[in-house]
Amino acid sequence: MNVSLPVSIWSAVPTPLTADLKVDEASVERMIEAAVQEGTEGLFVAGTCGEGPWLPDRERRRMMHAAVRTAGGRLKIAAQVSDNSVPRILDNAAMAAEAGVDFAIIAPPATLLNATPDRVTALFVEAASRCPLPVGIYDLGKIRPIMIPEDRLQEVYSLPQVKLVKDSSGSPERRAMALAARAAKPGLRLFNGDEFRCLEYLLAGYDGFMFGGAAAVMPQLKRIVALVAAGDRAAATQVEAEMKETLFGIYGGKSIACWLTGLKHYMVRRGLFTTSASFLGYPLTDECQVTIDRYLATR
């Protein structure tokens, strides 16, 4: 084992919306107060789980302002600023900086014509170098059609402005590149963004977690960390298996049929959100609702 202690737990949170798809600021406040009470180090807002690519700019701005205001320095706030060109990324980053966000997270663009390895790398290098905030790189690897080439990851991660990595790639090769980059730059923080590979990345030496289901499974995550710290890998493996089962239940099975709607319904049942409304329109099955209620009864 090569565990990096202490382990940091961040949550990439969903955005609470009203029925007419406006940011529900009262729900934002309840969500953040719950995260503070649970000892969460930071929240990642307006990411994929947070529907950042679909939120109108005015609503993203409201989400960031509400999150920073409510957090009041008690936990860190990161916001996704990804876009399809450097000027658009920098505009988004300026909005985040004005809101008082702590980190700007840059993910692969949704579209990029003539996306050669050099052009993709240049997009991240220029955006990160000119960003007014400390930068986090969101690596989705082959999950997205556009990605930083594997052999260019260390170049991007070594940039002075890059302070953290959210690695959702699931790739051992890309993980090795991230670990090598941290060895050369010890201040770089590495977060696992794949909720179904927590123990694997923790044992590899990542600094913590940053994924969408963390708000739902915080007790189990804490148990995994405590068991690993105590050297009980077998028990940690069992808890991780239980955690995966919980997440699949909330998300609507291994097909992730309910995904975001299931996660938001969970937040509603906790009394944190008022609706499970989203831009993405995932269904909410009876089985998913029953599983969520059963889990909440034991949480």
Report pLDDT digits (tens) over 255-295: 999 999 999 999 999 999 999 999 999 999 999 999 999 99
Whether 86 contacts 129, CB under 8 Å: no
In sign, the C-alpha dihedral spanning 151, 204, 221, 76 is negative
What mean pLDDT is reported for the chain?
Answer: 96
How far apart are the C-alpha atoms of 296 and 271, rounded to whole Å?
11
Residues in contact with 87: Cβ distance below 8 Å, sequence separation at least 6, in sequence order = none
Alpha carbon distances (Å) from 110 to 55, 106, 145, 246: 14, 12, 9, 30
* In the predicted structure, residue 5 carries a pLDDT above the cut 90: no
Residues in contact with 269: Cβ distance below 8 Å, sequence separation at least 6, in sequence order = 292, 293, 296
Strand partners, 23: 17
Report pLDDT digits (tens) over 88-134: 999 999 999 999 999 999 999 999 999 999 999 999 999 999 999 99
**DSSP tag of 7:** P
DSSP 230-255: TT-HHHHHHHHHHHHHHHHHHHTTTT
Report pLDDT digits (tens) over 152-211: 999 999 999 999 999 999 999 999 999 999 999 999 999 999 999 999 999 999 999 999
| Predicted local distance difference test score (pLDDT) of residue 95 | 98
Going from N- to C-terminal start, the domains of the chain cover 8-232
Residue with tokens 């998300």: 251
Strand partners, 10: 42, 210
Question: What confidence tier does 1 reach under pLDDT thresholds 50, 70, 90?
Answer: low
Count CB atoms within 10 A of the CB of residue 20: 7
**Which one is the CATH code of 8-232: 3.40.50.700, 2.60.120.430, 2.60.40.3140, 3.20.20.70?**
3.20.20.70
How far apart are the C-alpha atoms of 272 and 2, rounded to whole Å?
37
Report pLDDT digits (tens) over 8-44: 999 999 999 999 999 999 999 999 999 999 999 999 9
| Predicted local distance difference test score (pLDDT) of residue 73 | 97
| Predicted local distance difference test score (pLDDT) of residue 88 | 97
Tell me the HSE value of 278 on the side-chain side, using a 13 A CA sphere: 26
DSSP 139-194: E-GGGSSS---GGGHHHHHTSTTEEEEEE----HHHHHHHHHHHHHSTT-EEEE--
183-188: list long-range contacts, CB under 8 Å, 24+ apart. Answer: 184/154, 184/158, 185/157, 185/158, 187/163, 188/157, 188/162, 188/163, 188/164
pTM here is 0.96
- The distance from CA 168 to its chain's CA centroid, rounded to whole angstroms, is 9
